[in-house]
Amino acid sequence: MQNETVIAGFGGQGVLFVGKVLAHAALEVGMEVTWFPSYGPEMRGGTANCTVIFSNEEIGSPQVLNPTSAIVMNQPSLDKYEDMVVKDGYLIVNTSMTNREVKRKDIHAVCLPATEIAEEIGDKRLTNIVMLAALIKASDFFGQAEMETALKKSLEGKKNDLVAANMIALQKGFEFRA
């Protein structure tokens, strides 16, 4: 079984980083995984997205037309990806940056004010982790312990001092109840 997650938002919202955390989690449980970024000039100020695919077998295409889940961090991303997610897939929406409800009824949608939650923790840059936690909670792809290890791995080295705040963000995302 293969799972494909698209993470999309503005450049600077930590789209690529949170994809990396998800990839680390998949690696943690011994799966195959591919992290595929949109790259190049469009990253300057524009939109950014990445696709994380994990599977028990060799992964084919690093990008898919219809992902099994999507984390959308802003309005343009919601508009673009809501229709793309497969039936019964997951759509995690940042209501702090979107201005409409999810229309589809045949997917699992989790809508949460992720930026506000992140700001309460003290740093709106944690929006991405709050949203990832919400996806993991809804989908049960991985356990919370695996996510914590993945988060630490992703922050290894230069970003070590950010671990504590990120852990809180993860916790808040898991705790969120609509």
Partner 1 sequence: MTRELWKGNEAIAEAAVRAGLQAYFGYPITPQTEALEYMSWRLPDLGRVFLQAESELGAINMVYGAACAGARTMTTTSSPGTSLMMEGLSYIAGTEVPMVLVDVVRGGPGLGNIAPAQGDYNQIVHGGGHGDYHPIVLAPASIQEAVDIVYQTFDIAEKYRTIVIVMLDGSIGQMMEPAEMPPMQEVRKVWPAWSASSTQGKRERNVLTSIYLDPKDMEKTNLRLMKTWQQIEKNEIRYKEYFMDDAKFAVVGFGSAGRVALSAVRAARAEGIPVGLFRPISVNPFPKQQILALTDKMDGFFVVEMNSGMMLDDVLLASQGRIPVEFYGRMGGVMPFPDEILREIRRLHAEGWKAEGHPRDRWLAKLEQIINEE
Positions touching partner 1 (CB under 8 A) are: 20, 23-24, 27, 32-37, 39-41, 58-66
Nearer to partner 1, 142 or 176 (CB): 142
Question: How far apart are the C-alpha atoms of 74 and 17, rounded to whole Å?
Answer: 16
One-letter amino acid for residue 73 of the chain: M
Spell out a b/e string for 91-128, using b for 16 or more CB atoms within 10 Å of the CB, else e.
Answer: bbbbbbbbeeebeeeebbbbbbbbbebbeebeebbbbb
CB of 113 to partner 1, least distance (A): 30
Nearer to partner 1, 63 or 95 (CB): 63
Nearer to partner 1, 32 or 119 (CB): 32
CB of 28 to partner 1, least distance (A): 10
CB of 34 to partner 1, least distance (A): 5
CB of 153 to partner 1, least distance (A): 8
Nearer to partner 1, 63 or 139 (CB): 63
CB 138 within 8 A of CB 92: yes
